[in-house]
Amino acid sequence: MQHTLHTNESIQVDMLNPLKSTLKNSFPAKDGWKLYNRYNWSSKVYDYVLQKEENNSIYRILVEINFGDQVTACEMDKLASLSSRLNTSDIAAMRTVLVVHDKVEIEKIPAGIEIMDISTLFSNGIMNINSGMNSNMVA
């Protein structure tokens, strides 16, 4: 018998591959973008960092995926803290995007964090993220 938590995690991991492909297609390596990912086992949070270095400038997008039914204030504070740590003085542009389920409850949204539901992401691609940070961006 398979445990429900294991099944839910398996489905979530299966959803990550199309998400990663969407990010790679929207911000391609041929345009200088690199995609880094990390899975935080303690919090079950999936983070991706898109980064481009060009003309002594660094452009960075932090994309966090939260599959939970609720995003707590503590989780938002952790995301804001991570974003702040990644937004160093040598960063020309920084965006932080939280991708969630359509009907998720969010306790608070700190300034500077954009919210995108996962169905919009899969149906429209990453264009909402890309709108402010063109994949062909120049300094």
Confidence category of residue 9, pLDDT binned at 50, 70, 90: low
What are the b/e assignments for 36-70, b being 16+ CB within 10 Å?
eeeeeeeeebbbbbbbbeeeeebbbbbbbbbbeee
Query: What's the pTM value of the predicted model, to 2 decimals?
Result: 0.76
Task: Tell how strand 113-117 and strand 91-100 pair up.
Answer: parallel
Decide if 52 is inside a domain: yes
Decide if 139 is inside a domain: no
13-31 pLDDT tens trace: 667 777 888 888 888 899 9
Decide if 135 is inside a domain: no
Residues 6+ apart with CB under 8 A from 2: none
How many separate domains does the chain show? 1
Decide if 136 is inside a domain: no
Q: Which of 37, 48, 31 is nearest to 134 (CA)?
A: 31
Angle, vertex CA 81, rays to CA 122 and CA 41, nearest 5: 60
Question: Which range of residues forms the domain containing residue 72?
Answer: 4-130
Decide if 26 is inside a domain: yes
Decide if 23 is inside a domain: yes
Q: Are 132 and 112 in contact (CB under 8 A)?
A: no
41-90 pLDDT tens trace: 555 567 889 999 988 888 999 988 888 888 999 989 988 988 888 888 88
Decide if 137 is inside a domain: no
Decide if 109 is inside a domain: yes
What are the b/e assignments for 102-122, b being 16+ CB within 10 Å?
eebebeeeeeebeebebeebe
